[in-house]
């Protein structure tokens, strides 16, 4: 989706198809076709932010095994999926794998300040041959004191307030309530809950996914009622703050369901 607007992209990147089964068996064949000797790193998002669909456990474990065997770096993009959003502190924990590099942002400061971070194994860090505690290949705006203070406070809150388990509770609560409130509604195609991510698939009168125009109208109507939702070409999503109260979750579910019910007859028109 991003390539349509910002392409052409630099050479040297090969995009493999999304998995079509849950075994991970096809991954090795796809990477063999590229040639493992030509692959520096494999980059994956463990849960697809577009629709909240986790990559199969076996697929991620197969990726880890292949990268280890062929000395390829496994990089996980957890800018969106990290910090409790997917029911584990990091989505890699769903499959029990450990990447060589992990890219982080967003939840690292709970939104109070802009910050990105890259975690790497000691082996990768040592390859930069730095004799100090300063990472020699970073500069300019790194280590900003306000952003780092926000991150440290956020990490302490995760430890002190049991926010990751709370996120799982919120996701289940929202999913269950939306299932009850929208049961029998012809516009409901399905609900996916992964941790504190709730994806809602909505259908128009012809049974097709609602258009981007309909999604914009839905988002605006929810906002007027005091509820912030997000959408992609694949789904509409609720991503509650991990500190959301039960009462606020009930408000979110009831408000979303009422807006969907009111707009439903107009989807696809």
Cβ 178 vs Cβ 159: under 8 Å: no
Residues 6+ apart with CB under 8 A from 128: 135, 136, 137
**What does the pLDDT profile of the chain (269 residues) look like in tens digits?**
677 888 788 889 999 988 888 888 899 999 999 999 999 999 999 999 888 899 999 999 999 999 999 999 999 999 999 999 999 999 999 999 999 999 999 999 999 999 999 999 989 888 876 666 666 666 677 788 999 999 999 999 999 999 999 999 999 999 999 999 999 999 999 999 999 999 999 999 999 999 999 999 999 999 999 999 999 999 999 999 999 999 999 999 999 999 999 999 989 88
Domain boundaries, the chain: 2-161, 163-266
Sign of the alpha-carbon torsion through 54, 59, 62, 66: negative
Bridge-based pairing of strands 47-48 and 53-54 is antiparallel
Q: Residue 8: what pLDDT? A: 83
Q: Which CATH number fits domain 163-266: 3.40.50.2300, 3.40.50.300, 3.40.350.10, 3.90.1150.10?
A: 3.90.1150.10
pLDDT at 137: 64
The answer to whether the beta carbons of residues 186 and 223 sit under 8 Å apart is no
Nearest of 141, 153, 137, 89 to residue 116 by alpha carbon: 141
Determine the pLDDT at residue 228. Answer: 97
Which DSSP state fits 53?
A: E
Tokens of 26: 């096809």
Which CATH number among 3.30.450.20, 3.40.640.10, 3.20.20.60, 3.20.20.70 corresponds to the domain 2-161? Answer: 3.40.640.10
């Amino acid at each position: 989706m991003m390539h349509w607007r910002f392409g052409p992209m630099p050479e040297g990147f090969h995009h493999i198809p999304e998995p079509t089964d849950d075994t991970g068996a096809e991954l090795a064949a796809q990477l063999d076709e590229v040639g493992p000797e030509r692959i520096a790193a494999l980059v994956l998002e463990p849960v697809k932010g577009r629709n909240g669909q986790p990559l199969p456990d076996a697929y991620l474990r197969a990726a880890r095994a292949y990268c280890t065997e062929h000395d390829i770096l496994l990089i996980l993009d957890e800018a969106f999926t990290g910090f409790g959003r997917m029911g584990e502190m990091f989505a890699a924990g769903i499959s029990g794998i450990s990447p060589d590099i992990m890219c982080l942002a967003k939840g690292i400061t709970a939104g109070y300040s802009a910050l990105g971070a890259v975690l790497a194994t000691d082996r990768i860090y040592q390859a930069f041959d730095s004799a100090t505690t300063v990472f020699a290949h970073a500069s300019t705006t790194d280590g900003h004191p306000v952003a780092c203070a926000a991150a440290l406070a956020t990490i302490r809150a995760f430890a002190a307030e049991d926010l990751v388990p709370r996120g799982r509770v919120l996701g289940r609560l929202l999913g269950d309530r939306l299932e009850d409130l929208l049961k029998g509604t012809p516009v409901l195609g399905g609900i996916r809950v992964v941790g504190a991510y709730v994806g809602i698939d909505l259908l128009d009168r012809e049974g097709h996914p609602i258009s981007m125009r309909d999604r914009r109208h839905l988002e605006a109507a929810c906002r007027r009622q005091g509820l912030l939702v997000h959408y992609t070409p694949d789904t509409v999503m609720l991503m509650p703050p991990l500190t959301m109260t039960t009462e606020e979750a009930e408000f979110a579910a009831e408000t979303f369901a009422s807006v969907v019910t009111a707009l439903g007859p107009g989807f696809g028109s």
